Amino acid sequence: MAVKDLFDLSGKVALVTGGSRGLGREMVRAFAESGADVVIASRRLDACATLANEVRDEFGHRALPVAAHVGRWDDVERLVDAAYTEFGRIDILVNNAGMSPLFGSHLTAVTEELWDKVQGVNLKGPFRLTALIGERMMDGDGGTILNISTTGAVDAYPESMPYHLAKAGLNNMTLGFARALSPKVRVNCIMPGGMLTDVATHWDMEYMEQHALPKIPLHRFGRPDEIVGAALFLVSDASSYTTGAILRVDGGPYLP
């Protein structure tokens, strides 16, 4: 294959959860610019529809907006049905949707309801979506699946522990599905570090700049678009011999 064709997604269909904003939005746009039709899923249909219109206008590719709460298996199944009804196939699945609600200063403040919500969106939903789409990929022409985790999955912090533990499960799930769906489906994972998405508006930036930045070798937080290179690599033919990989995109190993 010519080098210029390694990242070409022409003729592919990509489904991205949490696709209407942040890292998901950047990946949707990058996939469409690289030739793919896209399914944009999040809980807000209006945000998905706005991005879908942008994709059609700017890149000339088909874009299907779908409202879905990935923590609910009925929504996951409806999302899969909608995607296959519209396109007849999914070649790329990106499990990007996530949530990490605040719960106070003590871990005893984590309620059962909050715990279940966090596990549902970050782990239970991706498992079901990967199982449903992965099976169809196996029965068809194969495909690629990309999970979006976090560096906290291997270095949990108390203030985000339910989220980090769920993402640790997602890392392990990556390895399990890489084995279960081989050899026709490749399954990989990206662990982003601190990215300046809308989530960063809730950070204590003064604290982060004083205590976190000095520990990052690149001495800055990431831009949302800086996920694109790694994502394109892992969902395209450029990574044809890569599966079960977990790639850090975090400005360098976090120093003690």
Residue 254 lies in a domain: no
The whole-angstrom separation of Cα 63 and Cα 52 is 5
Residue 32 lies in a domain: yes
Indicate the number of domains in the chain. Answer: 1
pLDDT surpasses 90 at 67: yes
pLDDT of residue 157: 82
pLDDT surpasses 70 at 77: yes
pLDDT more than 70, % of the chain: 98
The whole-angstrom separation of Cα 128 and Cα 158 is 28
Residue 256 lies in a domain: no
Reported confidence tier of residue 115, pLDDT bands at 50, 70, 90: very high
State pTM to two decimals: 0.94
Joined tokens for residue 173: 């799930």
Residues of the domain holding 219: 3-249
Residue type, 120: G
pLDDT digits (tens, 9 = 90+) for 178-207: 999 999 999 999 999 888 887 777 677 787
Q: Which residues pair with 118 in a beta bridge?
A: none
CA torsion 155-157-160-166 (nearest 10°) is 30
Residue 117 lies in a domain: yes
The residues carrying an active-site annotation are: 163
Residue type, 35: G
pLDDT surpasses 80 at 111: yes
Residue 28 lies in a domain: yes
pLDDT surpasses 70 at 163: yes
Q: CATH number of the domain at 83, please.
A: 3.40.50.720
Residue 236 lies in a domain: yes
Residue 255 lies in a domain: no
Residue 174 lies in a domain: yes
Reported confidence tier of residue 7, pLDDT bands at 50, 70, 90: very high
